[in-house]
Chains A and B, each alone.
Chain A
């Protein structure tokens, strides 16, 4: 179907390398530690995010132990349970997923996929990582300060977040805010890089419509994050001032521990508006890179061009724009002006349209494709299923009348874990299996990978699907123990115990994955430069792993879009983006 309406098939000479623009490391320290190479920074980001993510994973085990077997574990008390919830949510959403998708995958893939030598501001990029690391260390330090980490919930709603009675009121909450502020500063430095690199450093021939969807997803998510994180910054700074200096931005007049507090007149609702103005785009900041990456995984492993590329791009942009006007659907029960709810319910349901277009296009890409059930493909399929499931319950919760009884139940927990917990993690894992050969030059072990996939996928389903039923029964979220409520049958308690056992099993399978990562680094099968026979530029580098500067002497020139798989008449079932048309023409001529 290659229809060439242009007569110019001349290969233009590749651009000469502007040698002066490259930064060259001089010592071991600047090569591996204080490196300005985006690939090293990406690995640093990924390792740091994984390390703090493991802490959050352990916290989830502790929570599940308490929920499944209440009263059995004396080392978990009610305050600690709240602290575990808070830190688990905060770490997973911001310090793991955001950092991994944008700082990790963004740094590694953007320069390689657009055909650049590095990010445009390498020094700022390096600073971004070190500020992020500092934010993570400040966050981790809250486990060791007097009073422990804050237990205010990951949404940190005032007034309770800074009042006595909430765990971590002394130090935890202050350090939490400080850490968030640092994270946002660090992210802004990185985000400027990702955006400007996509805008300015694309190689010759790489038009916007030839970008792989991975880059579109990460690019749009970064733009959103740059505009959404300032809201969290504003909220954090003002809450910090309320806590430290006794201002009343958010704090209403109230009685604290029997005495009238110094606060008065502040609006907790204002905090919720600011928080969710960040918080809702945040969902898509995590989801859009996942959408982009999964599109590439499906296309590559089904050996078929992505169905409806233009629609996919438009849908990413539309979702990015719409996600800024849906935030108050998190606030139906907050006491805001009730008619706002109708507006936000409408926008929420509208956003389902571009999202559904994407799901249909993934399925249609699979339709009659040459599907290779490799580990990345398995995870991509797992993503589609969990995402559809979580997306559909999102339609329930987007409606005010359904949300009001269901909010604050386990149904909400099941919904958001399915849609923005399990689904993006599926993509993260699939993407690691997919790009690990490029990063290390070795394949991950496939048997261990399949074991990891099936335990993770089935396990995650067994955890979160039954949780919807708990929510429909009215089992509340955030509760340390359920007590003797008549509306909760004993079967709900045994279901909770079952979920806990599965959660521990899934957690164990992640250890197998970590072992696979370490083991394959030394013992894995050598992968060669392009083990998946993929078209995008990162697989066409002269060296694997790509060397400093990515491309050797000459930058690649792009002649086609990223999805020329199984082109009829072509010699192979994939045509790399940098392959000139003449070569394809010859192959076609030979075939016909």
Chain B
């Protein structure tokens, strides 16, 4: 559970920093009058949807960190047999990077007021995300064909579980992306669409980051790192 505690500590630092900006030491019973008279009491200038996405990313991170905690605790039991990670995953990772880059490009186009660029970016990002998901399913199929079933070893179980949870999050993102693209298609004003495109791009970067961490765990690349952390903590 140390991964979760570490994650919560990071969140606590962020929350503490934010709270420190909020004048929690004010004496409200003495401060009568309009808010403008007191420094540092304004609401955040971010749009609500962006704050909402930020909070959601914190929740989703908590979910993944908890899965990772469970992974690392279950891993230390003797029956753990790491499975050979299909090489296809590297291709998939590349596709997901392309997807993320495409959405970032789309966001840059939105900032330039370049409608065509936005549409191309959104479509390329969505298409490559779909290819990524198809690739993940193909990887499952290959593993199954090679005899690595979900219940035959905890390493397999975690592989299927983690990829599935990540894939479901990406599927949810695709729904949002489809809605944004549909609005774009119906000819919404590009200034209105900028926020939607930006949020999609942020979410995609988040999922890319999560995927890289998961990939590191599943392929065992981060084993040395995890061991060092474990020794530091114990």
Contact = CB atoms under 8 A, between A and B. Distances in A.
B33 A6 contact: yes
Interface in A201-253: 201-202, 204-210, 223, 226-227, 230-231, 233-234, 237-238, 241, 245-249
B102 to A, nearest CB: 27
A250 to B, nearest CB: 9
Contacts of B24: 208-209, 310, 313-314
Contacts of B35: 204-207, 558
Interface string A167-189: 00000000000000000000010
B211 to A, nearest CB: 18
Given A120-B48, A249-B154, A305-B29, A12 B36 contact: yes
A137 to B, nearest CB: 23
Interface in B92-125: none
Interface string B3-36: 0110010011001000100111111111111111
A392 interface: no
B150 A324 contact: no
A241 B157 contact: yes
B66 A231 contact: yes
B19 to A, nearest CB: 7
A231 B7 CA distance: 13
Contacts of B37: 6, 8
A143 interface: no
B38 A12 contact: no
Given A209-B26, A231-B66, A266-B154, A9 B33 contact: yes
Nearest to A119: B48
Interface centre among B5, B29, B44 (most CB of A within 10 A): B29
Contacts of B58: 226-227
A43 interface: no
A549 B35 CA distance: 23
Interface stretch (B67-75, B129-137, B140-148, B182-190): B67-75
A230 B77 contact: no
Contacts of A200: 43-44, 46, 48, 51
A266 B157 CA distance: 11
Interface string A32-54: 00000000000000000000000
B34 A8 contact: yes
Contacts of A264: 79
B55 interface: yes
A590 B11 CA distance: 51
Contacts of B52: 120-121, 192, 196
A569 interface: no
Contacts of B22: 207-209
Contact of B154 (A234, A247, A581): A247
B59 interface: yes
B26 A227 contact: no
B25 A310 contact: yes
A559 B38 CA distance: 11
A204 B4 contact: no
A10 B151 contact: no
Contacts of B79: 248, 264-265
Contacts of B157: 241, 245, 247-249
Contacts of B8: 227, 324
A273 B151 contact: no
B84 to A, nearest CB: 19
Given A207-B23, A226-B58, A277-B1, A247 B150 contact: yes
A558 B165 CA distance: 45
B77 A267 contact: yes
Nearest to B65: A230
A71 interface: no
Interface string B38-59: 1001011010110110011011
Contacts of B34: 8, 10-12, 204-205, 557, 559
B121 to A, nearest CB: 26
B63 interface: yes
A196 B28 contact: no
A128 to B, nearest CB: 13
Contacts of A199: 43-44, 51
Interface residues of B, number: 54
A303 interface: no
A563 B70 contact: no
Contacts of A230: 59, 62-63, 66
A317 interface: yes
Contact of B70 (A12, A121, A249): A249
A561 interface: yes
B78 interface: yes
Nearest to B35: A205
A226 to B, nearest CB: 5
B161 interface: yes
A584 interface: yes
A270 interface: yes
A2 interface: yes
A5 B187 CA distance: 54
A186 B86 CA distance: 36
Given A5-B30, A6-B33, A248 B151 contact: yes
A188 B61 CA distance: 13
Interface in A549-592: 557-561, 563-564, 581, 584
Contacts of A313: 24
A195 interface: yes
A584 B154 contact: no
A44 to B, nearest CB: 22
Interface in A249-267: 249, 262, 264-267
Contacts of A208: 22-24, 41
Contacts of A1: 29
A309 interface: yes
A6 to B, nearest CB: 5
B62 A227 contact: yes
A274 interface: yes
A401 B28 CA distance: 44
B11 A227 contact: yes
Contact of B63 (A11, A233, A581): A233
A241 B165 CA distance: 13
Interface of A: 1-6, 8-12, 120-121, 188, 191-192, 195-196, 199-202, 204-210, 223, 226-227, 230-231, 233-234, 237-238, 241, 245-249, 262, 264-267, 270, 273-274, 277, 305, 309-310, 313-314, 317, 321, 324-325, 557-561, 563-564, 581, 584
Given A191-B59, A205-B34, A309-B28, 20 more contacts: A2-B32, A120-B48, A121-B49, A202-B43, A208-B24, A209-B22, A230-B63, A237-B165, A245-B150, A245-B157, A247-B157, A248-B154, A249-B70, A265-B154, A267-B74, A270-B74, A273-B1, A273-B73, A564-B29, A581-B32
Across the A-B interface, the 8 shortest Cβ-Cβ residue pairs? A265-B79, A561-B28, A205-B35, A247-B157, A207-B41, A230-B63, A246-B151, A120-B48
22 contacts: A5-B30, A8-B36, A188-B56, A200-B48, A204-B34, A205-B34, A207-B26, A209-B24, A226-B55, A226-B58, A230-B63, A234-B67, A234-B70, A246-B151, A248-B151, A249-B70, A249-B154, A265-B78, A273-B73, A310-B27, A557-B34, A561-B29
